[in-house]
Structure formats: structure tokens, C-alpha cells
Amino acid sequence: MIALLTRDLRLAMRAGGGFGLGLAFFLIVVTLVPFGVGPQSELLARIAAGILWLGALLSCLLSLDRIFALDWEDGSLDLLATAPLPMEAIVTIKALAHWLTTGLPLILAAPLFALLLSLPEAGYKPLILSLFLGTPALSVIGTFGAALTVGLKRGGLLLSLLVLPLYVPTLIFGAEMARRGVEGLDFTTPLLMLAGITCGTIALLPFASAAVLKVNLR
Amino acid sequence: MGLNVSDLTIARGGIKVLEGVSFTLHAGSAIVLRGPNGIGKTTLLRTVAGLQPPIDGRVEADPDSLVYSGHADGIKATLTVSENLTFWAQVFGEADISNAIKAFQLERLASRPAGALSAGQKRRLGLARLLVTGRPIWVLDEPTVSLDVEAVGMFANAVRAHLARGGAALIATHIDLGLPEAEVLDAGQFRARAAALDDFDEAFL
């Protein structure tokens, strides 16, 4: 399992691995929004949390189809399926590798990007906390979507359509938590909901992803 | 140890291709599977490897004794030859890749990115993977595609050494592998008869 994780991380770092893709997309969204809505910093401060969450979600979506498609194309997935690793472990490791290469860099870069959107100071802690709690759910749900569409050529559109509705609860509670933090309100309720969603998806979805992947490999 | 297939019926895309497939593969022996294109050799091998369920019949083998190698080699282009092999060795809980490198003469290519290899060299790397898995039963789908005569010889030697160690191999191929001791199984004899639709609804699905 460690071997699979290190291989996936190494592949992501090498040329064409798409490590910087999500981060670059996030940066583009964040730098273009002020041009789009105008440079009033009080307006930006109000929408910053939502924009950051939306950017994180979309840049996560961008790299989903790579999770299984590349391994499927070159036959590694067939070979992994006959390897001694259980399928549930494979999809969990894949989701973890996806989070480490897209979610974690976004969390680390978020304070800088929040500065670009002039997020009020009170908002930083809840924003980072909400991203930290929410992005693992995005990766796990996305892995499920990727497993569903693995055999399809150009399955990206279908993947987005399948995954986006499942992302809505995470987005609602994540952005709500960050917004309440900005306004100085108590954000315990959305925090608990967000943590609950993430724990639930991590506990249940790998089994669904593994079952779907086995059907798709036939 | 061994592989026992009894009265197996398999389907591809919902259509039965082979039925009543029965054979036994003993330790130390090899079976070469022959048959025209589209007869269902790949489907049979994938079923034996457990990648798809059979419609009927049984595949009996010790757990974790099979290793499958298909048309694609599962090679990552941006990893080097030795990184690719080390990964598969670790997945299968082995550590030593030097035998595999030696058997397929990959010494000089070991530090090269796998994407820079030729088709035949990639195939050699894919076959070298079999040696690092440490599994006794090899299930191979056209292993010699794009190999030159010399590399086919390397492959035959690797199979022979594997059989001598008490392993077994089930190989689908169209060419002569230089393995006269292998038993030949013609897939054509198991070709499924076109079944009448017994489920009326099926015609409308």
C-alpha cells in the first residue's frame, strides 16, 4: 500500500503528472475574480470565502479523471486488481494520493490566496479549518465518480455531472463555516456537519468505489 | 498447487463465447491456448485470473497463486525501468528485482524512463514483472507480441526456469514459443452454440 502511495505521488511530481494543475487553476480563479467583480475591497471581503471554496472545489474536479483513467489505459488497473491488495485499499490509497497532490497544496496556499481577495483577518482560521475538513471528502467522492466512469473514453463531462451534486453538501457547509468565521459568528454547527460528511464519506464510499471498479473492469 | 477449471462458461458483452471449458494445469507444466481471433481466449484468461465472473462452472486455484499479464503491460512512462519493477515487487511483497532484470537482459536499460523504451523492450519489462511477483501460476495473454526472436528465446527460458521451480503457466499465443513440452489446448472446441433467447425481455434491452 505504501508502495502504491509513493508511486502515485512520484508520478504526480514527474513531468505531465498534473501536480501543479489544481494549484494553477486555483490561482487563476482567485486572480481573475477581482477583475470580474471590480476592485472594491469590501465587496471582495464579503465574497472571498465563497470564491475560495468554489475555486478549491473546481480545481479538485479538474484532476479527478486522472485518478483511474491513466492506470486503466496502460493496464495497471487490471494488474492491481489481481495483486494481493484489496480493492478497497487501492481506492483509499488513490483518494489519499489525490488529496495529497491537490487538496493539501490548496490548503497550504489558501492563506496567500485569501490575502489576494482581502479576506478579513477573522476569516483565516475558519477558512483553513473548513478546507482541511472538507477537501478530503472532495477527494473521496471524486474517487467514487472516477471509479464509475473509468472505462469511458472522454468521461470527463459525465464525471463532472455525477460528482457535482455530491459535492454540494460539502460546499454549503464549508463555505458557510468560512462565512460565519468572517462575520465573527459561531461556526460550530457547520464545522460539525462538515466533519460528519467527511467522516461518513471516508467510511462508506471506498466500499462503493471498489464494488463499482470491479464491475467496470469486467 | 495447480489450477483446475471445470465446465466453465464465459461471456463477453453478454454473449456466450466459450462453454464447457475444462482443463487442469499441474505444477511444473504449461498449457498453450490456441484459437482464432475473437474465439474468447482473452475472456477465458481474464475469467481465470478473477477479473470477471464466469456464467457457469468453476475455477479452482489456491488463493493468491495467480498472476495475470494482459495486452497492456501496466508500465508507467515517467518511471524508470527499475522503479517500475520495484513497485510491482513491493506490491507483491517481494524485494529482489535483480533476477528479473537479468532474465530479460534489462541491465543496460534499468535507469532509463520506461517511456523511452521501444515496444519490444516495454514488453520485456512487462514480462520481467512476472518474475518479481513470486506467484506460481502465470496467466499470460499473448506474451510475445512485438518481441524479436532473441527475446522470444529469453521468454521461453524464463518460462522453462519457472516450470522447473514448480510453477505453471497458461499462455494464449499464435506463434511457436519454442516450448515443445507444453500441452496445446484449442479453444475452438469449446465454442459456444448460439443460444436461443430464453428471456423474452432480453430482446428489448
pLDDT in the model for residue B205: 54
Q: Across-strand partners of B138?
A: B67, B169
Q: How does pLDDT run across B58-100, given as a tens digit for each residue?
A: 888 887 888 888 888 888 888 888 888 888 888 888 778 888 8
Sheet of strand B168-172: strand arrangement: B66-69, B137-141, B168-172, B30-34, B183-186
Q: Which of B77, B63, B30 is nearest to B183 (CA)?
A: B30
Cell numbers at residue B55, please? Answer: 456464467
Nearest chain B residue to A80 by CA distance is B91
Q: How far is A49 from chain B (nearest CA, A)?
A: 38
- CA dist A53 and A176 (Å) reads 10
- CA dist A112 and A109 (Å) reads 6
Q: How does pLDDT run across A13-37, given as a tens digit for each residue?
A: 776 667 778 888 888 988 898 888 8
CB contact under 8 A, A79 and B87: no
Q: Which of A135, A106, A114 is nearest to A48 (CA)?
A: A114
Report the SS3 class of residue B172: strand
Cell numbers at residue A99, please? Answer: 488529496
Cell numbers at residue B78, please? Answer: 515517467
Interface of A with B in 105-164 (CB under 8 A): none
Set of chain B residues whose Cβ sits within 8 Å of the Cβ of A17: 78
CB contact under 8 A, B51 and A82: yes
pLDDT in the model for residue A204: 93
CB contact under 8 A, A82 and B49: yes
Of B50, B74, B78, nearest to A14 by CB-CB distance is B78
Interface of A with B in 77-106 (CB under 8 A): 78-85
- CA dist A135 and B195 (Å) reads 51
Set of chain B residues whose Cβ sits within 8 Å of the Cβ of A7: 76, 79, 83, 87
Q: How does pLDDT run across A170-190, given as a tens digit for each residue?
A: 999 999 998 898 888 888 899
Q: What is the pLDDT along chain A (218 residues), one digit of tens a residue?
A: 787 888 888 878 776 667 778 888 888 988 898 888 888 888 888 888 888 999 989 888 888 888 888 888 888 888 888 888 888 999 999 999 999 988 898 999 889 888 888 888 888 888 999 999 999 999 999 999 999 998 887 778 888 899 999 999 999 999 999 889 888 888 889 999 999 999 999 999 999 999 998 888 87
Q: How does pLDDT run across A1-17, given as a tens digit for each residue?
A: 787 888 888 878 776 66
CB contact under 8 A, A78 and B72: yes
pTM of the model: 0.86
Classify residue A194 by burial, with Cβ atoms within 10 Å: 0-12, 13-18, 19+: buried
Please say if the pLDDT value at position B163 is more than 80.
Answer: yes
CB contact under 8 A, B90 and A2: yes
What ipTM does the predicted assembly reach?
A: 0.80
